[in-house]
Structure 1
């Protein structure tokens, strides 16, 4: 018992050494497993492993419904790493957050309106993500046509040129072209694979490119010359779109600022006279007037966005 402190120190040091060894063995084993999975996924022996999915039960039930299938199709064209179940849970959580936050700041009736607007906002978010992905893909089209022109000029077939472009380009073009290459590998025709690409990312630039590639594959002709000319045209359109977007940015900010000013006035009134919004929305006429006012703000916002939308 006289050597008890020394024995305690020795056991503690031994435990620390074993802990360090255990952490080192675990980290090295995990790294080796990830390297093995990545190597085998590239060879196609096992599917690629992604992140762990949440809300699996909700996702399975939601996929069996019509709304779940629609959500799945919308998410598929946005490039988001989400399942329908995760998206549904996040939207519901956001609606509850809007209801409580807006209801606490303004009034309970405004919380209900915010939750209803959030339902539209969830769908608008997916549409915005699709538009954003389409815009990013359009910006990569000049580079894509340049790669295809160089590959075909080197004597490669169009299928091989598409595979090469999918490996060289960044996302979203690389990911979309890999999907096209996978479809071609399992027997889809070039027309069908490129047609599905144009359906996923609708734009006039992509339709022109797809039409050029399809006609060249059917009737032959000078593919390299067509792609070179298309590259120059797409570069010019890219610059024009950037200039138009810069000119219209002030109008878009105005469209968003107008309803924000209205909400600011409501918040100012409620701070000057506490409970004024509760009294206003407590009567039927007040609720109807609030709904009409917000509807007019929405119409004004959409009208300004519509008038400032220029197709290039």
Structure 2
């Protein structure tokens, strides 16, 4: 073991030994960060429970503050979040993306995911390619930064689709509750209890905010910032205007539900009309990869030459750029705003 470290320090280690040492060092750094910056929630919970048990004469407001403090202290890696907030150029934008994806805005957990993906990518690149150490580290950093953000994007798209599929039904439940004589806050609460997530949890959060003293328009604006959907913005504007001017809210929400369903029908119609162009884009974009895989299995040395030769690597880069550019143009051609 001593000779191994001496080889690394003297510059006599092979690329495999050097990459293994870097992987081990990164894993040790990851473990140290996790245990050093992880808050000790057990001590916090014991201290808060001791305060609650010893203060029997505490008023309701103080007990509420203690309860809020308990939830805040046990919510995540607070120390790590502070460090990441200093290192990240736009931490609030990243938190906003995580909320729209339906995740807790925990920057520390997001950092651990980036580090883990970077280490895994570096190990795979060292095993399957002959790139130098610095090139592999550069590519691993790029992969580690891109994949988590792509994951947030796809989670946001999936959450939005599920929200739009359930939101008209939630509005219909509110209309029935309003026609039966319930106030709007109770109607929203009933819809939140009956409709599945993510609609249910957002509506429940709105009514909980109203219960602790918030105004309904303000809570709806906060929910809109968490969701980021134009359809929910319609709902927010309708309730805000009705709160200020009055009117038949049940009829307004019924019209809004009908509009949302018609928008959904129009989107499905556009999707059906553009399906042929999308299928052509998928086929044309996947043909180069399919042909390379076939050539690789039929004549491996001929295909490997494209990866090892600098001219082949340059051709791969140009080809990937042209494929991405063409797919982007075709996506814009079949994308319609409704």
- Select 1:145's aligned residue among 154, 162, 171: 171
State the SS of the aligned residue for 2:301: coil
* CA distance in 1: counterparts of 2:324 and 2:313, whole angstroms: 16
CA gap 1:56/1:233 in 2 versus in 1, 3 angstroms? closer
In 1, are the aligned partners of 2:114 and 2:148 still within 8 Å (CA)?
yes
1:274 equivalenced with 2:274 (yes/no): no
Q: Which segments of 5 or more consecutive residues in structure 2 lack a partner in the other structure?
A: 1-63
In 2, are the aligned partners of 1:162 and 1:181 still within 8 Å (CA)?
yes
1:73 equivalenced with 2:96 (yes/no): yes
Per the alignment, residue 229 of structure 2 pairs with 203
* CA distance in 1: counterparts of 2:114 and 2:289, whole angstroms: 23
1:224-263 aligned at under 5 Å gives the runs: 224-249=250-275, 251-263=277-289
CA deviations on 1:210-254 (whole Å, 9 max, x unpaired) are 221111111001111112222222223233333433444554454
User: Aligned residues, how many?
Assistant: 268
* CA distance in 1: counterparts of 2:288 and 2:128, whole angstroms: 15
Per the alignment, residue 193 of structure 2 pairs with 167
Q: CA deviation at 1:148?
A: 1.5
In 2, are the aligned partners of 1:106 and 1:267 still within 8 Å (CA)?
no
In 1, are the aligned partners of 2:231 and 2:260 still within 8 Å (CA)?
yes
- Select 2:142's aligned residue among 109, 112, 116: 116
CA gap 1:255/1:60 in 2 versus in 1, 3 angstroms? farther
How big is the alpha-carbon RMSD for the aligned residues of Structure 1 and Structure 2?
Answer: 3.7
1:213 equivalenced with 2:226 (yes/no): no
Per the alignment, residue 89 of structure 1 pairs with 112
- Select 1:295's aligned residue among 310, 315, 321: 321
Q: CA deviation at 1:302?
A: 1.6
Per the alignment, residue 58 of structure 2 pairs with none
CA gap 1:231/1:139 in 2 versus in 1, 3 angstroms? same
CA deviations on 1:75-114 (whole Å, 9 max, x unpaired) are 1221135733333323333344445546756774997668
Per the alignment, residue 177 of structure 1 pairs with 203
The TM-score normalised by the length of structure 2 is 0.65
1:62 equivalenced with 2:89 (yes/no): no
In 2, are the aligned partners of 1:75 and 1:82 still within 8 Å (CA)?
yes
CA gap 1:256/1:46 in 2 versus in 1, 3 angstroms? farther
* CA distance in 1: counterparts of 2:270 and 2:111, whole angstroms: 36
* CA distance in 2: counterparts of 1:295 and 1:103, whole angstroms: 24
Q: CA deviation at 1:173?
A: 0.4
CA deviations on 1:112-162 (whole Å, 9 max, x unpaired) are 668635633321221221222122212222112112212222222222222
State the SS of the aligned residue for 1:126: helix
In 2, are the aligned partners of 1:79 and 1:133 still within 8 Å (CA)?
yes
State the SS of the aligned residue for 2:193: helix
* CA distance in 2: counterparts of 1:163 and 1:251, whole angstroms: 43
State the SS of the aligned residue for 2:214: coil
* CA distance in 1: counterparts of 2:289 and 2:119, whole angstroms: 20
CA gap 1:158/1:121 in 2 versus in 1, 3 angstroms? same
Q: CA deviation at 1:257?
A: 4.3
Q: CA deviation at 1:275?
A: 7.4
In 1, are the aligned partners of 2:117 and 2:143 still within 8 Å (CA)?
no
